[in-house]
Chains A and B, each alone.
Chain A
Amino acid sequence: MVPLSFYLVLSGILFACGVTGFLIKRNIITVFMSIELMLNGVNLSFVAFAAQWHALSGQVFVFFVMVVAAAESAVGLAIIIAVYRTRETLNVDRVNLLKL
């Protein structure tokens, strides 16, 4: 038996790592990976609460989160490719204008 709070603390650590990476990383691809890390942390707490309350809808919600994450990463990576084409850099500090 593992306390539910252990799962929640693990998910909180993952989410905090994601937020930190989002703030301190300067490569736009790594920033994007930090967002995926945050989504994973949220998914873990969804599954843990589903097990706690015996509600399978929690696991269905994880499925939806994964679908949204897949769609988001497809569009986001396409945006990254478009940004690289116009700016020739992946550093977020140099991508500070909406229009060239």
Chain B
Amino acid sequence: MLHLIVFSVFGLVCVAGAVNLLVQRHPINSALSLVVVMGSLAVEYLLLGAEFVAAVQVIVYAGAIMVLFVFVIMLLNAGEEERTKGSRVAMLFGIPGMLIGSVLVAWVLLEHSGTGNVAVGALPGPPKVIGWLLFHDFLLPFEVTSVLVLIAIMGAVVLASHPGSTQQDKREG
């Protein structure tokens, strides 16, 4: 019972943050509501027993990635977004279609999934076990990931560097 209460409270906070992200017009408000979503998702992970994933969620997502977002919003001095008129066909067919589809999917999941219940901390994922898996079963993907991150770092530096700044530095230096 307590499990259900905690799940519902943080699930509602999560959905409220996601809806707030859509409603807010200023990007900084959207970014802060995304932090709320990620924080409450970390609690949901803890409920499932995924302690390592919950910690990484808070550190990487709510910490690093969102700081990057807020930093870029402030760097570019992003103001309120200007709303433009969407297409009428999307309004006519998109919203009812999405509602019908989501109700259908939710109904199938709730009635016919037959997947059973999940207990509190159903599958503990402590860092030790996750690390063992990463360095044994998933060693190759883990190493490929490091190459990916290296490429991402170089790509970010190349893309964000001011065009022509290297020539200028050479002339000055």
**A4 and B116 contact, CB distance less than 8 A:** yes
**A67 and B15 contact, CB distance less than 8 A:** no
Report A-chain residues with C-beta under 8 Å of the C-beta of B68.
Answer: 73-74, 77
Contact with A along B74-110 (1 / 0, CB 8 A): 0110100111101000100000001000100110011
- Is residue A97 within 8 Å, beta carbon to beta carbon, of the partner chain? no
The tally of CB-CB contacts under 8 A between chains A and B is 228
Report B-chain residues with C-beta under 8 Å of the C-beta of A32.
Answer: 69
**A10 and B44 contact, CB distance less than 8 A:** yes
Known: A37-B37, A56-B129. A1 touches B156 (CB 8 A): no
Contact with B along A1-28 (1 / 0, CB 8 A): 1111111111011101110110111110
Within 8 A of B (CB), among A56-73: 56-57, 59-60, 62-64, 66-73
Binding site for A on B (CB under 8 A): 3-4, 7, 11, 14-15, 18-19, 21-22, 27, 30-31, 34, 37-38, 41, 44-45, 47-50, 52-53, 56-57, 60-61, 64-65, 68-69, 72-73, 75-76, 78, 81-84, 86, 90, 98, 102, 105-106, 109-110, 113, 115-119, 122-123, 125, 129-130, 133-134, 137-138, 141, 145, 148-149, 151-153, 155-160, 162-163
